[in-house]
Amino acid sequence: MTMAPPRLSRSTVAGYSLGSVGTGGFATLPGLVLAYYLTDTLAVPAAVASIVVFAPKALDVLVNPMIGSRSDADAARTGTRRRFLLLGALTLPVFFALTFAVPAGLSATAGCLWVGAAFILSAIAFSLFQVPYIALPAELTQDYHERSRLMSWRVALLGIAILLFGAGGPALRDLGGGGRPGYLTMGVVAGLLLGLGMLAAWSIAPRGRAIATADSSATHGFSDALAAARSSEPFRILLTTFALQALGVGAMLGAAQYVATYVLDSEGTVSILFAALVGPAVAVMPLWIRLVRAWGKQRAFLLASGLFLAADIALLGLLANHGPWVYGAVAVAGIGYAGMQMLPMSMLPDVITDHEERGDGAVRAGAFSGVWTAAETIGMALGPALVLLILAVTGFVSSSGDEVAEQSSAALTGIVLAFTAAPAVLVAVSILTLRRYRLAAEERNRGR
């Protein structure tokens, strides 16, 4: 009889979960405010702002798989990924603050260049942490259900982080006086919080020769990472599903501030929207854990995606009117969103372990996580860029300072469609891809 792997300690679960303060904050805050910062503070046209928002993160397509493979090489040599985690945790706060530190008096063009350069450096620093961080669960435990437990706590902390940064970021901006000074205050305080959360995850990472199966003779380059990812059909399917959903969620986040200002007629209601979306995450996490034990991860993931899709369709009602019902629909989306975050992240280490068992036994967790985070990052970056392109096509008018420009009915329709229809289409397609997911571990543990 095979003994079950030991349960993860509380300190390990807590430390790993706190890393979500860094990952959730960086994934949320730029998507929420960066486009708005460019168009409504720096007076950058929406079409140009879309390039500034997207181009820096597009580099992650090359950078993240390379970092993943280098992380595998470092793990093979030293048995740990701690150096990458620490470097990212120490450098991200600096570059994040600089992104929102455009000096007064610079032209819109110069402001674009400043933000673009700082955001590129921020994205690289984030990747140095994020890629090995995503690889850690495959090395912390081999148990199917312990990974769900680890990810449930991580996503619960992720929900708190998104609330903290999604609601607190704009609040810090306003407390700092709004405009450029307000964004600088937000950038400095948020950057420090990002770094502290990342350091907590660094503190529990395996040390020494903990990664016993690492293959120090393997090649560890960009092509090696892509080859490893291509060789696993379950990974390709799961990655496609997750990337489509990241793009959809990124669009919803990117459009939220515009919905608050121009549809709900109050810039501050963006904090309420975020609370409604992310607040259910902590409360419903035990439900998703029970569903995993009863149904397996794939079926639970399909349900979560379906709930999010249904809520998006309901929110199309914003084209007719708005009222308190909006926050109820967003809360339903939040229940689905919690599952859409926890479930694929607990499925990824299952896929990695399956690949290692079927292959040569060499560690490829970094290679897989590098490709994974590249797809996630570009999806989240494309979301706000997609919003800006929809706004540009529908005639959105940019403004500067405290001015709020009058928008045409076509522009208002564009804002609503970016917030609802775009995510709905993307999540609907992701459901079709998820139905093709097959993994031996899924069959063994379904309903166990």
Instruction: Dump pLDDT digits (tens) for 39-69.
Output: 888 888 878 887 887 777 778 788 888 888 8
Where do runs of H (alpha helix) occur along 41-107? Answer: 46-58, 60-78, 82-99
How far, in Å, CA of 162 to CA of 185, rounded?
A: 18
User: Could you tell me which of 235, 5, 19 has the C-alpha nearest to residue 141?
Assistant: 5
Lowest mean pLDDT among 112-116, 129-133, 154-158, 417-421: 154-158
The neighbour count for residue 6, using CB atoms within 10 Å, is 9
Structure-model confidence comparison of residues 385 and 98, the more confident one: 98
Cβ atoms of residues 142 and 346 within 8 Å: no
The neighbour count for residue 282, using CB atoms within 10 Å, is 18
Lowest mean pLDDT among 183-187, 328-332, 411-415, 443-447: 443-447
What are the tokens at 320? 């007719």
Cβ atoms of residues 73 and 217 within 8 Å: no
In the predicted structure, residue 322 carries a pLDDT above the cut 90: no
Cβ atoms of residues 67 and 128 within 8 Å: yes
**Mind listing the domains of the chain with CATH numbers?**
13-203+221-445 (1.20.1250.20)
DSSP 25-48: HHHHHHHHHHHHHHHHTS---HHH
User: Could you tell me which of 290, 117, 294, 136 has the C-alpha nearest to residue 202?
Assistant: 136
What are the tokens at 184? 């600088």
Cβ atoms of residues 356 and 54 within 8 Å: no
What are the tokens at 86? 């620490």
pLDDT of residue 214: 43
Residue range 332-350: mean pLDDT, rounded: 90
Three-state secondary structure call for residue 435:
coil
- Helix-strand-coil split of the chain, %, nearest 5: 80, 0, 20
Highest mean pLDDT pick, 75-79, 219-223, 429-433: 429-433
| Residue 141 burial by Cβ neighbours in a 10 Å radius (0-12, 13-18, 19+) | buried
Instruction: Dump pLDDT digits (tens) for 220-279.
Output: 556 666 676 777 888 999 999 999 998 998 899 889 888 988 888 787 787 788 788 877
Structure-model confidence comparison of residues 106 and 215, the more confident one: 106
How far, in Å, CA of 169 to CA of 174, rounded?
A: 9
pTM score of the predicted model: 0.76
How far, in Å, CA of 41 to CA of 181, rounded?
A: 11
The neighbour count for residue 55, using CB atoms within 10 Å, is 15
